[in-house]
Amino acid sequence: MPAVRGDGKSKEAEIKRINKELANIRSKFKGDKTLDGYQKKKYVCKLLFIFLLGHDIDFGHMEAVNLLSSNKYTEKQIGYLFISVLVNTNSDLIRLIIQSIKNDLASRNPIHVNLALQCIANIGSKEMAETFGTEIPKLLVSGDTMDVVKQSAALCLLRLLRTCPEVIPSGEWTSRIIHLLNDQHLGVVTAAASLIEALVKRNTDEYKGCVSLAVSRLSRIVTASYTDLQDYTYYFVPAPWLSVKLLRLLQNYPPPEDAGVRGRLTECLETILNKAQEPPKSKKVQHSNAKNAVLFEAISLIIHADSDATLLVRGCNQLGQFLSHRETNLRYLALESLCLLATSEFSHDSVKKHQETVINALKTERDVSVRQRAVDLLYAMCDKSNAEEIVQEMLNYLETADYSIREEMVLKVAILAEKYATDYTWYVDVILNLIRIAGDYVSDEVWFRVIQIVINRDDVQGYAAKTVFEALQAPACHENMVKVGSYVLGEFGNLIAGDQRSSPAVQFQLLHSKYHLCSANTRALLLTTYVKFVNLFPEIKHLIQDVFKADNNLRSADAELQQRASEYLQLSIVASTDVLATVLEEMPPFPERESSILAILKKKKPGRVAEPGSAGSDGTTPKERKSPALNSVANSNHNTSGQSNDLLGLASPSTTTQNAAPLVDMLADVFSSASPPSVNNGFGSAFQPIDNLKKFACKNNGVLFENDLLQIGVKSEFRQNLGRIALYFGNKTSFALQGFSSSVGTPGDLATKLILQVKPVDVNVDAGAQIQQLVNVECVDEFLEYPTLTILFLYNGVQQRLSLKLPLTINKFFEPTEMNSEAFFSRWKNLSGSNQEAQKIFQATQPIDASHIRTKLIGTGMKLLDGIDPNPENYVSAGIIHTRTQQIGCLLRLEPNRQAQMYRLTIRSSKDSVAKLICDLLCDQF
């Protein structure tokens, strides 16, 4: 067949050529002339090619099934290939296919058996596992089965085991499968090692007999006195891939209890380390790759055992040599392994010897992933002796660090500074430097923590007040710095008030100069600081009362600001000096609890975050070596009952009566649900994934998509024509998602109407971990389409692709508009043209409920106007859509009919396309 895609000069020409070919094939299949095997193979192969080009195929399946009964290899191969790719497990032909597979499995021709096994593995369905689960183990352990068939049988079982773990019953085949490790054929023993490792993860105790066999086989491969598998030498390295699999298999068990087995294993590991020191036998990259693959897996086993000090130190020294290697991958792997070695009491000091090299890597490495591993290693090797130097180097690097690793670095610096703080003025300086350098990446927990420590330690309070006062004098001051400064000065501003340069009036003016630049949450915190100043500095009481009386506070659109201003004003007027002093007294010390920052870091990187200095040279345990900061100061996540005593409120204020949760908790809530999530798989599973795109028309936060591999959460905020969307990708599996990428596209002319700035995302998502991606948005002009979100990653070695729509619609750029009744209906009449109105009458999707309607209408971004419509059952809203090029006014009227359970929705706008778009968007919400 000619190259179909090459023949078409355009998409239309290609489709025309394909349709012509499909018509020809269909006529051949339906013709009176019987087709021979070659012709069937040819036409089925053409259909397969057309399908792979992206076109649907709805015939030819029976002809492919007929090819399975052919005795010719090429015909049977094409038949199986077609079935593996095109036939659905729910197909009516599946019974015929299963019968053909059974016939081939019983065949004496090993080629036919292999083709059948490959087809079973490719389909890999539960039905295949149930049908052939008892036959394949027999093929695997039978003495009559050829080696090439045994190899395929082992790999086929491995595939079915992932689909249906019950495919191999416990105990029935255990011993015979384990003894495949002694097979003389490399393919058989390599495939068996993969199968056994999967079985071990399912039932460790049942397969523990594999340890002695694996050690014995490994010894025969790597020890010079044996010649096992010497015919399978790859660039002077004997059976490297089998060696790697055996070493990985042994990492599922503790060190062998039998002294003889343990001795042989130690000998193997020493031999591998010795060979790493030998001059290379070849300059080719294949030799070094194979040699290093075995070496790194051996070091992983040494780290896993964590019992032989000599091996651990030798492994550390060997990895240290790779830190300056010209190969980027080797440097990366060396840093990653050294992170694990740093947690061992035997090798911690040896790892610290490479501190200068690691710091240099932080400064000079071009690859961001290598720099990130260098940060991890510095964090892991840190202890009392080098804490200040490492923290300073990490702060220096933070100024130029890649955005993708800044948040994690901030957490690590905060943890190290707290854990090893002997001078708390140093700790305060470090955290304030963190906020100055990377304020956007400092979570609430970090600045909560510094305040808790300052409150709990009398000796640092004056220094903290002086330092934050100086920091606030910077022209560009991050909002988190304002929060810390506000809290500290509100509690301890009196300690520096004696200096004319930081008098009460100066402190107040300095804080208030930041007021109008801050968010509502920070303004609420500042108002609380001001009322604290009323108690601390009565001489500036009149200045503060003027602020409380200001219209932008007493009549603020933000209910929290309005309430605080009103109540604080009355408190300052009505309360006596004694009452005021009692109500606004200094915060008491926080109760002692462990810091929450380390827990946040572990949540971000589960399984990969070691407690710093967990194997320090002083020989103490982490618990015994806990720093004074951790012993004397505790974290306090304020609960409802305790909040009444905290007028400054570490928890950010919100417009509700509850305290706003810390930032990380809010983000975690994106992935929480009142009911357990259903198990879904968007990549070929029979289960349907959850896609919540439509729900985001009236909300900004929530779960966008979920299946059994991945959960995607969204948090977004918008102001006029600008917005920021945070995407959270949660790995729900017990395996890492590798090669992870997430891209946002603007199809068609959407690129001219939306400007998207997408920040990079981590390439690996560890098991149970969550990563964040930020998307900055600017609306240039009205738009109709959704941006596309494409996610790619590898799961268990299989490429997965997910295509979604980003929940970004034109109503996100609404600014609520307040109107009285007269203004609303005047504007309503002005927009009465047929091209300015869109109207729909539709059935309610659920019983009509006033609170539900109000929530949805507020969620649209428009201002819900109460008491405007003459009919109290109706709802009206108003808003202005902001774009870079224009502003578009919109009015909404929703008329519910409770008796008929129907709605009439009317949208009027200065642009007809916007009216129709908003109407179509909202009619699905009620």
Angle at the Cα of 880 (from 878 to 882), degrees rounded to 5?
Answer: 160
Classify residue 133 by its DSSP letter: T
Tell whether the torsion through CA atoms of 196, 201, 206 and 211 is positive or negative: positive
**CA–CA gap between residue 617 and residue 383 (Å, rounded):** 8
Q: Using DSSP, state whether 809 is helix, strand or coil.
A: coil
> Is 45 part of any known ligand binding site?
yes
Half-sphere exposure of residue 130: CA atoms within 13 angstroms, side-chain side: 3
Q: Using DSSP, state whether 751 is helix, strand or coil.
A: helix
Task: Give which of 142, 136, 96 is closest to 120, Cα–Cα.
Answer: 136
One-letter amino acid of 353: K
Strand 738-745's sheet: what is its strand order? 738-745, 788-795, 798-805
Query: Encoding tokens for residue 719?
Result: 């102001």
**CA–CA gap between residue 150 and residue 110 (Å, rounded):** 10
Q: At what angle do helices 328-341 and 355-364 cross, to 10 degrees?
A: 140
> Is 222 part of any known ligand binding site?
no
Residues forming beta bridges with residue 738, ordered by sequence position: 794
Task: Give which of 835, 830, 837, 822 is closest to 892, Cα–Cα.
Answer: 837
Strand locations in 565-629 (E):
none
Task: Give which of 839, 855, 845, 827 is closest to 893, Cα–Cα.
Answer: 839
**CA–CA gap between residue 130 and residue 98 (Å, rounded):** 11
At residue 840, φ and ψ (nearest 5 deg) are -140, 140
Q: Give a three-class secondary structure readout of 682-733.
A: CCCCCCCCEECHHHHHHCCCEEEEECCCEEEEEEEEEECCEEEEEEEEEECC
Residue 321: C-alpha distances to residues 325, 335, 375 (Å): 7, 11, 18
Query: Encoding tokens for residue 874?
Result: 């109706």
End-to-end CA distance of the chain: 54
Query: Encoding tokens for residue 398?
Result: 């933070």
> Is 46 part of any known ligand binding site?
yes
**CA–CA gap between residue 177 and residue 197 (Å, rounded):** 11
Q: Is 313 left (phi over 0), alpha (psi -120 to 50) or beta?
A: alpha
**Which residue in this structure is represented by tokens 């689960």?**
133
Task: Give which of 19, 627, 725 is closest to 382, Cα–Cα.
Answer: 627
What's the gap between Cα 65 and its chain centre? 43
Half-sphere exposure of residue 766: CA atoms within 13 angstroms, side-chain side: 10
> Is 454 part of any known ligand binding site?
no
Strands 702-706 and 710-719: antiparallel
Q: Using DSSP, state whether 112 is helix, strand or coil.
A: helix
One-letter amino acid of 594: E
At residue 679, φ and ψ (nearest 5 deg) are -85, 115
Count CB-CB contacts under 10 A for residue 743.
Answer: 12
> Is 283 part of any known ligand binding site?
no
**CA–CA gap between residue 380 and residue 361 (Å, rounded):** 16
Given a contact cutoff of 8 angstroms between Cβ atoms, the answer to whether 665 and 650 are in contact is no
One-letter amino acid of 693: L
At residue 295, φ and ψ (nearest 5 deg) are -60, -50
**CA–CA gap between residue 808 and residue 700 (Å, rounded):** 9
Count CB-CB contacts under 10 A for residue 772.
Answer: 17
Annotated binding site: 28, 38, 42-46
